[in-house]
Amino acid sequence: MMDCKYVTRDMLSHPVTMRVDEGPSDFLSAKILADGKAKELSSEPMLVAWFDRKSGTFAPDVICCDRDKPSWLVYAESRGADISVDINDQDYVFLYKDVSQ
């Protein structure tokens, strides 16, 4: 994995914050939580990008070194992602696009 920098809350556009006291045990658990939250906000959320701090992975795995934001975030924003779900202070971040519009 190669990227320019890690995501911070101020990089996210209108983030929806989720605090999970026990914390999701893995990526799949976090994704299930984020998918549920996105479905509360949109009838048709489409996952565009994600970040997993624990494993240091993200998708899509693109390199486009914007000096201010990680490449996966730039990718998602440029494709219309309009829902940001931030779990436990950027432990996991999921970006969705509302395709029902």
pLDDT single digits (tens) 24-79: 889 999 999 999 999 999 999 999 999 999 898 999 988 766 668 898 999 999 99
Domain locations along the chain: 9-98
Residue whose token pair is 């320019």: 4
Give residues with Cβ within 8 angstroms of 25, minimum separation 6: none
Residue 1 has pLDDT above 50, yes or no: no
Please, are residues 100 and 43 in contact by the beta-carbon 8 Å criterion?
yes
CATH class for the region spanning 9-98: alpha beta
Closest CA to 80 of 61, 96, 94, 100: 96
Which ranges constitute the DSSP H helices of the chain?
A: 27-41, 71-78
